[in-house]
Chain A
Amino acid sequence: MRAELASEVSTASRLARLSGGFIVVAIISLFIADIHFYRPDPWQELGRIGLGLITPYWPDIPELALALGHTVAFALLAVAGSAVLGLFLAMWFHWRIVRVFAASIRSVHEVFWGLLFMQVWGLSATTGLLAILIPFTGIFTKVFADILHQQSPQTVQTFGNAPRISRYVYGLIPKAWPELISYVRYRFECALRSSAILGFIGLPTLGFHLETAFKQGQYSEAAAVLWVFLLLIGSVRLWLRPKLIPLFIAAAIWVLPEMPPVNASFFWQFITEDLWPKALQRGDLIATGQWYGNVFMSDVWPALWQTLAVTQAALVLSGLLALMYYPFASRWLVGGFRPMGRFKLLVLRSVPELMLAYVFMLIFGPSALPAILALGIHNGGLIAFLLANNSEDAARVQRPDSPTGAMRFFYQDLPQRYPAFLALLFYRWEVIMRESAMMGVLGIATLGFYVDSAFEEIRFDKAFFLIVMAAVLNIIIDSLSRRLRRRSGLRTPLM
């Protein structure tokens, strides 16, 4: 009976109802989220930032060049390592343990990994590399497994019962090669952003200089760093030639900051003692339970609510902005105005969300608002970019008598893109949650704030508990999103 009723409803209204539900949740979230306007007159600050943007200046060029080198080196080496590890693990993705392992390491944000390793290896190359390499290995494992799984089984069927690695290396991997490479390329851009962001917690990348300059109100210098970073992202395709990669890797190893010697006993003590409450080490399970209960009520619970509220509001804002941006970057919809729309999307998706949030924080003061805006703008830009490509690809098969102008958008392109749009948005859901939690390091009351404070108080056990809770929330959202996508019949895009 219910199935019959459901089939009478059009797909569009079903998806519209789903979207409506998310919008309602987002509006409620705005009341839960800790939103304040601390500055009565943001325009003055905005003017100074604007002036800085058009008058970029950096006094010490070699210093900036070194930070640029570190940023690229961390990203390049971490991506090279994690792509190889991920490809290897992807061959065993049918094992539950591999799936769980990959899901858990990618559920913790790079910045949290960075904060964790900093306690052991300080502000060193080891910390920077591992902070990117570990979560990226989890991401590569999953996405590579998906890509390899989509290859036609026919090739491998002609091999007889060849050993597993041979089947992959001769059949599936070379067949999927172009897709694998283009995904690694995309991930390298993400790694450059992560690498820059790690500067905000002290590693010697571009983010460090950006934060310092912002803190001192030197907007021209901040702008110089920002422009250098945008040029870096925008020019990846020009300089990252396949043949030059071995050369770049050698250069990256050379440019890396010092690596401290691995002190095994110190590291062992860190993971076996420092990360766990004293009560647990004494073997007092009742006190352990109480300790975790107390931390949960005092820190985890409020942090989870704030993180969720920011996530839901940012998710819907991303969606709204993506739908507003993308038509202006599709040739089929706006014709000659396309280059402007494209450029805007390049800038929006290249600026790391943490940098955007930092700027908004200078304008609006520290509250959930800068985080929501930054996440919305960044993710909206990214989704819009993919939708615009989708719209242009589809233009080849559109009828010549399609409506024109705004009606073309509302009656034809928007409805056609909408399922892909929702799939992409749901796909970004867990990413947005991970980033909402991370934004806390700026002083916004999400999980990251509590993690950062716990590390500052040298309460590693509490910090670790908070990070694990953030990971659990992330895994829940990931599976919720997958279920929702499957139930709504939305095809999972790869990105």
Chain B
Amino acid sequence: MFELSHASLDHGKQRVLHDISVNIAAGEKVALIGPSGAGKSSLLSLLWEQSPADIALCPQDSALVDILSVYQNIYMGALSRHGNIYNLLNLIRPWADRRREVSMIAEALGIGEKLKTSPDKLSGGQRQRVALGRALYRKQPVFFGDEPVSSLDPAQGDELLSLVLGEHDTAVVAIHSPELALKHFTRLIALQHGRIVGDWPADTVTLDQVSSIYSGGPSVQAVDNAR
């Protein structure tokens, strides 16, 4: 479904991804793990470019439009399903059917009573729920998330991640927590300094091994020397 072979990515003069070869099949739930700055977001956007129209994307800064309501922010997931006129009219007055659908999603995410407020009045955790709402409302088979539950407490993050992964066949998610990575995903890809340093089925690694990837771990030195 997604395939990269010996790919690299530069931001200006700096190379942020080196020699990436990876294959992701439909039905896989992949967690991207590694310390911040390892290249998780870059790899995610490189994969996203392969099929932008079919992916429900939940980027890191949550991409919310602060001056519009929570309803409109979730509705944005449906923009590609409707024409301009329909979308413009919805901006003036929400369609009743769409409002029902959006409010069901919002209920499931625990922000059912916030539909009329705007995201700038919400907490970080609530904003992430709105962003997830938009991704869910895209109704795509593939979900891409960049630390989509990082502002939620562990129990809530756990619950929402199950919800979102349950609604999508395939998922690639950059994740900040070793526990969540092991519990919810079928495959773990570890990144350090812009290179893939590990790629395992989730049931073959232990929590300690995953945690060491996040803290930089013993392999950091080796990777540095290899450059």
Contact = CB atoms under 8 A, between A and B. Distances in A.
Contacts of B79: 159-160, 162-163, 166-167, 170
B63 A155 contact: yes
Given A170-B72, A175-B65, A177-B67, A158 B77 contact: yes
A160 B63 contact: no
A161 B76 contact: no
Contacts of A272: none
Interface string A146-176: 0000001011011111111111011100110
Nearest to A175: B65
A160 B80 contact: yes
A3 B88 CA distance: 53
A384 B136 CA distance: 51
Contact of A157 (B57, B77, B83): B57
Interface residues of A, number: 20
Given A167-B79, A171-B65, A177-B67, A161 B52 contact: yes
Given A159-B76, A160-B79, A170-B68, A165 B63 contact: no
A157 B63 contact: yes
B61 A160 contact: no
> What is the size category of the interface that chain B forms with chain A?
20 to 34
B127 to A, nearest CB: 13
B57 A174 contact: no
Contact of A158 (B59, B66, B72, B88): B59
A160 B144 CA distance: 12
A241 B66 CA distance: 22
B63 A161 contact: no
A166 B84 contact: yes
Interface hub of A158, A164, A166, A177 (most chain B Cβ within 10 A): A158
Interface hub of A162, A164, A174 (most chain B Cβ within 10 A): A162
Given A155-B65, A158-B57, A170-B76, A165 B84 contact: yes
Contacts of A171: 65, 76
Contacts of A169: 87-88, 91
Contact of A160 (B59, B65, B84, B140): B140
Interface of B: 48, 52-59, 61, 63-68, 72, 76-77, 79-80, 82-84, 87-88, 91, 131, 134-135, 138, 140
28 contacts: A152-B63, A155-B64, A157-B48, A158-B58, A158-B138, A159-B77, A159-B80, A160-B52, A160-B80, A160-B140, A161-B53, A162-B79, A162-B80, A163-B83, A163-B84, A165-B88, A166-B79, A166-B84, A166-B88, A169-B87, A170-B65, A170-B68, A170-B72, A170-B76, A174-B66, A174-B68, A175-B65, A175-B66
Interface of A: 152, 154-155, 157-167, 169-171, 174-175, 177
